[in-house]
Amino acid sequence: MTRQLNIVSVNQDRGISPRRQKGAAVHLRAMRRAFTQTGAQVSSIDEPDGVRVMFQLHGMNREKPIDLIYERYALGKSAAAEFARAHHIPYALEVNAPLAQEQSRWRTAGDETQDTAADRVTFGQADYILAVSTAVADYSARRGGRVDAIEVVPNGIDSSRFNFAARRDAGIFKPDPGSTFVLGFHGRERPWHGFDRLAELVRSLLDRDMPVHLKIIGKGDFDALKRLPEDAFTRLPWVEHDDLPSHLATMDAMPFCYSPDLPCYFSPLKLMEGMACGVVPLVPALGDLPGAVREGHDGLVYMPGDFEALQEMVISLIGDREQCHRMAINAAKTASRHDWTSIAEGVLENVFGRQVRTGTGEAASQVNPL
């Protein structure tokens, strides 16, 4: 009989609390839950102080030998990697962003030399590095990760909640050709999201008498909404992640208006979660985004900065609701294959060289196209 794996999930980023509703916290909780669904025992450490991390790992390892330390990358934090090296414990690193680059662009500068030295230990120790995009994989190699240990794995979804059945539950079947076409945005407004361009897109469509409505779910000033008539948009506050599918399901399409002038290393949770609920993604050809969407099958791709092309895409979907509905179904099928549990299984297969089978098949079957 195989012994139950003992996994410790480490998060040393002081800005990510597992109790919060921001995307990073959702991701953190999702992976911990996914590892338990593989049959493993999962313990958690959420602590930025390296000495305390070491102390907790010592106690856990004494109580029951640790089989794997799985860490969410935090800039300049090497305590977990050092412990893994000292105790010959397999160590996997999840890298969601090029944090050193983010700090230099968006945040107050830290101790670059110290951060780089600590990252060399962290990345160099990793037996397996899960990078959410190609750009993040390149960053991981530059920070000291072994190329043969790095794999690109985009962010996933909880397919038991985010699925096409949400549209049925929201009372939405095939859209009426004459009905209002809902464009969506959800998340925190950030400089790189280009929300002002999304508002301008809606303004232009309204000027052409297109039956569009903008639905926003999240946090931010959203000052660009001042350009729109009050009846042209619905703004909702941040909602609990469990309640999100029913809101996403009321959207027809989700335009991503990222600026072509900024680096695009994202694997947006909102992309796959929206697709899973039957929202057609409209993405710029930036980073890995066009690889996540099959043009004309489960979404549409436009050249970065070409917002005339984006506008024409929306008009074409408004004019052909059957095509939009087909793409919505295909988007849900595509997203269902990116379940968090299958990602966790992949980590274990890479680290331990053996397959781990769980009930992901049942989760994927939740797509239920109408």
Give pLDDT, residue 288: 95
Token duo for residue 361 = 């098949």
Give pLDDT, residue 127: 97
Per-10-residue mean pLDDT of the chain, 370 residues long, equals 86 90 89 97 97 98 97 97 98 96 70 89 98 97 97 94 79 71 92 92 97 95 94 92 91 94 88 95 96 95 95 96 94 93 96 60 35
Residue type, 227: R
DSSP classification of residue 149: G
Decide whether 6-156+339-367 matches 165-334 in CATH topology. Answer: yes
Determine the Cα–Cα distance for residues 253 and 325; give it in Å rounded to an integer: 10
Give pLDDT, residue 267: 92
Query: Contact 249/166 with Cβ under 8 angstroms?
Result: yes
Determine the Cα–Cα distance for residues 32 and 41; give it in Å rounded to an integer: 10
Give pLDDT, residue 240: 87
Q: Angle 321-336/269-276 helices, nearest 10 degrees?
A: 120
Give pLDDT, residue 112: 79
Pick the CATH number of 165-334 from 3.40.50.2000, 3.40.50.1220, 3.30.460.10, 1.10.10.10: 3.40.50.2000
Give pLDDT, residue 179: 87
| Three-state DSSP class for residue 11 | strand
Neighbours of 69 (CB within 10 A): 26
Token duo for residue 256 = 């991503």
Query: Contact 274/254 with Cβ under 8 angstroms?
Result: yes
Q: What's the half-sphere exposure (Cβ side, CA atoms, 13 Å) at 59?
A: 9
Determine the Cα–Cα distance for residues 55 and 44; give it in Å rounded to an integer: 13
| Domain ranges across the chain | 6-156+339-367, 165-334
| Three-state DSSP class for residue 188 | strand
Give pLDDT, residue 315: 97
Spelled out in words, what is the top-level CATH class assigned to the domain 6-156+339-367?
A: alpha beta
Phi and psi of 347, rounded to 5°? -60, -50
Pick from 256, 300, 253, 301: nearest CA to 280: 253
Give pLDDT, residue 173: 61
Determine the Cα–Cα distance for residues 155 and 338; give it in Å rounded to an integer: 7
**Residue 317 exposed, middle or buried by CB count within 10 Å (0-12, 13-18, 19+):** buried
Helices (H), 293-339: 307-319, 321-336
β-strand partners of 8: 43, 69
**Residue 198 exposed, middle or buried by CB count within 10 Å (0-12, 13-18, 19+):** buried
